Structure 1
């Protein structure tokens, strides 16, 4: 079949089609000849609602400029067709990617979900609800790195969190139950769709996969619980996110703020330009505190900066910049490890810095005075432990936290993090019930300290085998590229 003729563009091939549109790969004649995707719609076949959707899509895409949203480059029309010229995504869509891989490892799923969440956070800042999130509408770019972009805004609406009633929108398999059952819904319908996409990424199929719409509708009407496959292992954080998204009752479903702040996604440390600036500012503060011999606060700031630097390193595609960043990060890791040993064992240390390069020189024990000191934190712990004996559960929780500190000092970060979490899960509820007084003040200080040390432990855990994790990341990236080719 011959391809149609579009003024100013040369069509290469048909790459997709929908209910009222055909998408072609093309390039503009003359100039840079950049490859684009052109969405072509026959005006004679369009219903009134379809035309409204096209108008909405064009008006939204004019203002939606984001790294993880497919960019509209132009739009025009002739006597018969409406055309939307889009950024070309050379990796196909997420649906094809899942089919080729069958199911995605949790780290790859996290990467895609993080990018999707960044796009959704941008949409929410404009009060926009996509209304048709599904793997087919999530497009992939292979170079310079594998990147997910949200596309197809034909069903999108300006929609806040207040309830609305509209005609049915979206694809049934990914459609929130409240749309199918009540035709009343708010922006949280996008979160249900994200949960279904996440399920499909992890397990290779949607939870309500059915042979007919009637069968699908019956499953949803019955509000059948969504169960995770028994033979599939996912981490506790991953399980918590997917089960919190897939709540049939939208009032029980997690909120957008909870989604954006969820530990599994860790959007706070996503590899963005803003976060690079944060990482640099944190490490500068750490260096200054290090000069002032404030080892403990310097340690925590180095660790906090690493939470930002590590994703930036794994996301960097330029080999030269990546190697420079890797060398800097290695210096910060070494210094954090040294400071951890110094303050954890109750020593004071004279540290040295290379002022010209702003890169830390790790001191040996002979490089400065090493004096054993009694930590104020130890005094708080001992007094709190003495006062805790009258409360069931508090002494045990404190002992678990003390064990976490010991594992941290020994470099056993995975166990240390587990212990910090266990201690805090018991102490935080006790703190909420604690009456005003000396013990409450001490407990509050101890909880705050272990929260901070838990965060620092996460940073050290992520850097424990940096070279190995980088090799694995490179291998995963290579595998992704191979699958897409």
Structure 2
């Protein structure tokens, strides 16, 4: 450390490297002067830099942090003061901040961003229930390894108002033009919907906290937690029973639902041996689900072939109904894509788009032959969409890093918001 920049002295701690600094404070890594040599972060605030308002804000921050205990919020372990400084002794987070993490990887895969977002949402929900607002949410204030509070535009590697100058930044903020995602951005429909609703300029139409916590992309139901394994086991027991009873489609659906909880359970487990045993068990369930997938595909083949002729008749009967005809053409495109091997979210989105329109058409359709065929078409498409959704779940489970990374990568993944 350069001369003249030595950190201040603190009775019970040895302050070492400077981690960062802001207007009012400098943060250092430190070690407790005990046998444990516990690592902490010490936020050093100069009293001279504080006016009356900033002092009140600091005392409020201390008061809040003293009472807040949550796995995704940095813990205030203690605070001290002397004639020149106030010291906040905080939990040490070894993974650095989210800003550095994003820069080092340029962009994040959507599933990694989702893991981060789930933890952020969990922490925000906790604060919201206590009527606490953070007021300074940004990537630099989100520490990896236990403090994840804010979704950065991590998917694209830059912020929505990224600018080359303050003048350009001000112009973008003041503009009434809707915020758009980068051209060519490949994100799922749910992810796109959440981002655009979060970036809505008008606060009256922006997504509310309640809607945010319930959004399907946030998906707090499947966030890694102490309950994940119990939920997975309950579902897999039902799957096994349906499998034994010969109900293949129901068994496949239950296995896929169980896997949605098993993967978070693997992320949550910290014991290496138990984690590996759980992976092996999950791989067995994935193998059985693969076998069932092939059987269900065979079972569905005849049904789907019959539905194709029904769809063709319905298309001919809908030439006088442009909106219904357009929805049926979207459905035909989805089916064609799936049958050509495009078992992905783009195809699933087409199914969902067509079903939304067809359900509206069904509600407005008078009794008759076309209504009967439309009802059959909707049932068939729903079946295909659910089956496709299960295939996607299985593929994501099989490609999830938790099922194939070796022990050497564990520490890396834990610092990537994946625990």
TM-score by length of 1: 0.68
Match of 1:126 in 2: 130
Equivalent residue runs for 1:457-472 within 5 Å: 457-464=388-395, 468-470=399-401
Instruction: Please list the CA deviations of residues 141-195 of structure 1 after superposition, one character each: whole Å capped at 9, or x if unmatched.
Output: 3xxxxx6524xxxxxxxxxxxxxxxxxxxxxxxxxxxxxxxxxxxxxxxxxx84x
Match of 1:430 in 2: 361
Give distance in 1, aligned partners of 2:241 and 2:203. Answer: 48
Give distance in 2, aligned partners of 1:478 and 1:106. Answer: 20
1:35 paired with 2:35, answer: no
Instruction: Please list the CA deviations of residues 448-481 of structure 1 after superposition, one character each: whole Å capped at 9, or x if unmatched.
Output: 7855763553343233375554389749x95994
Contact 2:314 2:374 in 1 (8 A): no
Contact 1:300 1:453 in 2 (8 A): no
1:241 paired with 2:194, answer: yes
Give distance in 2, aligned partners of 1:313 and 1:437. Answer: 52
Match of 2:17 in 1: 13
Specify whether residues 319 and 248 from structure 1 end up closer, same or farther in structure 2 by C-alpha distance, changes over 3 A only.
same
Contact 1:40 1:81 in 2 (8 A): yes
What secondary structure does 2:96 align onto? coil
Give distance in 2, aligned partners of 1:133 and 1:346. Answer: 51
What secondary structure does 2:348 align onto? helix
Match of 1:116 in 2: 120
Name which of 46, 49, 71 aligns with 1:45: 49
What secondary structure does 2:194 align onto? helix
Match of 1:291 in 2: 244
Contact 2:248 2:292 in 1 (8 A): yes
Match of 1:54 in 2: 58
Match of 1:104 in 2: 108
Shift of 1:138: 0.9
Specify whether residues 264 and 321 from structure 1 end up closer, same or farther in structure 2 by C-alpha distance, changes over 3 A only.
same
Shift of 1:308: 2.0
What secondary structure does 2:215 align onto? coil
Gaps of 5+ in 1: 142-146, 151-192, 348-371
Shift of 1:39: 1.4
Aligned-residue RMSD, C-alpha = 4.3
What secondary structure does 1:25 align onto? strand
Shift of 1:407: 8.5
Contact 1:380 1:442 in 2 (8 A): no
Name which of 233, 258, 263 aligns with 1:310: 263
Specify whether residues 409 and 204 from structure 1 end up closer, same or farther in structure 2 by C-alpha distance, changes over 3 A only.
closer
Shift of 1:249: 0.6
Give distance in 2, aligned partners of 1:379 and 1:201. Answer: 42
Equivalent residue runs for 1:71-86 within 5 Å: 71-86=75-90
Specify whether residues 292 and 468 from structure 1 end up closer, same or farther in structure 2 by C-alpha distance, changes over 3 A only.
closer
> Higher relative contact order at CA 8 Å, sep ≥6: structure 1 or structure 2?
2
Name which of 19, 26, 30 aligns with 1:26: 30
Give distance in 2, aligned partners of 1:479 and 1:283. Answer: 26
Instruction: Please list the CA deviations of residues 278-305 of structure 1 after superposition, one character each: whole Å capped at 9, or x if unmatched.
Output: 2221112222333344433322212211
Shift of 1:93: 1.3
Match of 1:281 in 2: 234
Count of residue pairs the alignment pairs up: 406
Contact 2:41 2:90 in 1 (8 A): yes
Contact 2:259 2:397 in 1 (8 A): no
Instruction: Please list the CA deviations of residues 74-133 of structure 1 after superposition, one character each: whole Å capped at 9, or x if unmatched.
Output: 223344432221111112212222333334344433332332222222222223221111
